[in-house]
Amino acid sequence: MATQIDTAQREIILVEDAHIRPMMGNQVLESLPSRHIPYSLVDPYILVHEAEVKIDPAQPGQDTTHPHRGFDNLWYAISGSSSTGHSTGPGGAFERARLDEGSLLFIRTGRGVLHAEGLGEDERREGKASEMRGLLFWVNLARKDKNVEPTAKVVLPNEVPVRQEGDATIRVLVGDGSTDTRKFSGSGNGAVTNQGTINVEDSSALTLGAAVTGTGAINLYNLASAEIGGAAGSGQTITFVNASFNSPSVAIGADNEILKLDDSRDFGGLVANFKNGAAIDLADVAFVSASTLVVGAASQSTNGVPALSFTPTAGNAGGTLAVTEGSLTVNVGLVGNYLAATFATSSDGLGGTLVTSLPQALHHT
């Protein structure tokens, strides 16, 4: 069923003082939610808070960790600094971040994330007293983004565009005019430093003609593709966002999300959610013979050389998928649990090797 979205400018219907709400040991100015304005009139804005977070090394830290899902969590440091943690690392591991004055923590909570872990713990360990005045926004996600893999990034002060309009200073934190790219479809021939998140929309294509460095993410949505023409640094994570939701009847060769690596031998990044028909095109690995690997099965069937292997990490939170043709072995690091996965190789039609993760219904043991 198609969804029609109409947009229009909104009129100001109410101006009121924010009320004070005690939260996690702080007195918070809460503008939204409002007791006098229904959510339908402020959607997609769920919450707006302003508060000062005081950190005293002489006082024990509080257990402030809590879960969220389905919206973007934006925490902007107006003044001061503070550290925090969130479960956006590989396999849900906690990552730490420090916000200094003028910086922004952008967490896309997606299918679910824990955050505010160890608030101010870095400063306490260093014996530093600190106080941060921050502004917090919760912005509702579109339905198709509700179940994406959670991600986080820190936007530094020098990455926030600033302009003057009369006496007003305007800082663009996210969206149009900011340095954060939430949707992307296009190409580029030069080397790219990706320090943020590139989202490739449904049925769109991203072509990067050279190496990709930095500590960023590339998310491929339904039927999207990305091509990396050079090496990819260890800080890059490419996620097949919708692969878990494809029909289990999808056959090999159907149009699904595809990551094409022109220099797979120098791919040092990670691939997440490689499931249900998603494909990785190893363009520089000559296709010799088809093979199938059933991870965790008692045996594997192959036609020709046993060209595939998978080595899980401790705790089964990921592993390494190895593709061997002759004397060449390409290793691709995977994030996620693949103990029941099936991988297969085929020709990409251009001389390279296409590695596909078969849907559950097509597994063979």
**SS3 at position 157:** helix
Q: Residue for token digits 């005045």?
A: 133
Contact in structure between 47 and 74 (CB atoms under 8 Å): no
Percent over 70 (pLDDT), the chain: 85
Supply the DSSP symbol for 41.
Answer: G
Instruction: Look up residue 12 and give its amino acid.
Output: I
Residues in the chain: 365
Tell me how far apart the alpha carbons of residues 186 and 307 are, in angstroms, rounded to a whole number: 34
Question: Does the reported pTM lie above 0.85?
Answer: no
Which percentage of the chain shows pLDDT scores above 90?
31
* pLDDT level of residue 360 (50, 70, 90 thresholds): low
Q: In what order do the strands lie in the sheet with 342-347?
A: 186-188, 205-208, 225-228, 258-261, 279-282, 353-357, 342-347, 292-294
Residue with the larger pLDDT of the pair 48 and 324: 48
Contact 64, 24 (CB under 8 A): yes
Q: Which three-class secondary structure state does DSSP give residue 122?
A: helix
Indicate if the pLDDT at residue 142 is higher than 60: yes
pLDDT score recorded for residue 5: 44
Interval 90-126: pLDDT, tens: 888 899 999 999 999 999 999 999 988 888 888 888 8
- Which DSSP category does 316 fall into? G
Per-residue DSSP letters for 243-300? GGGS-TTPPTTSS--EEEETTGGGB-SEEE---TT-EEEETTS-----BEEETTSS--
Looking at the predicted structure, is the pLDDT value of residue 254 above 50?
Answer: no
Report which secondary-structure segment, H or E, holds 114: strand 113-117
Q: Which two tokens stand for residue 2?
A: 């198609």
Strand 104-108 to 151-155 pairing:
antiparallel
Unique residue bearing structure tokens 């013979």: 289
CA 282 – CA 272 distance, rounded (Å): 16
Instruction: For Cα atoms 211, 323, 188, give the angle at the middle one, nearest 5 degrees.
Output: 20
Given a cut of 80, whether residue 268 has pLDDT beyond it is yes
pLDDT above 90: residue 136: yes
pLDDT value, residue 4: 43
Calculate the average pLDDT of the chain: 82
Q: Where in the chain is the domain with CATH 2.60.120.10?
A: 19-171
Of the candidates 88, 220, 184, the one whose C-alpha atom is nearest the C-alpha of residue 192 is 184
**pLDDT classification of 177: cutoffs 50, 70, 90:** low
Q: Higher-confidence residue: 4 or 178? A: 178
**CA-to-CA distance for 49 and 103, rounded, in angstroms?**
16
- For residues 240 and 334, give the distance between their C-alpha atoms in angstroms, rounded to a whole number: 11
In CATH, what is the architecture of 19-171? Answer: Sandwich (2.60)
pLDDT of res. 239: 92
* Count of CB atoms situated within 10 Å of the CB of 58: 7
DSSP string, 53-103: EEE-TTSPPP---EEE-SEEEEEEEEES-EEEEES-SGGG--EEEEEPTT-
The pLDDT, as a whole number, for residue 294 is: 75
pLDDT the model gives residue 7: 52
Structure-token match 């919206």, residue found: 71
Residue 78 pLDDT grade (very low, low, confident, very high; cuts 50, 70, 90): very high
Mean pLDDT, residues 340-354: 87
**Which amino acid would we find at residue 93?**
A
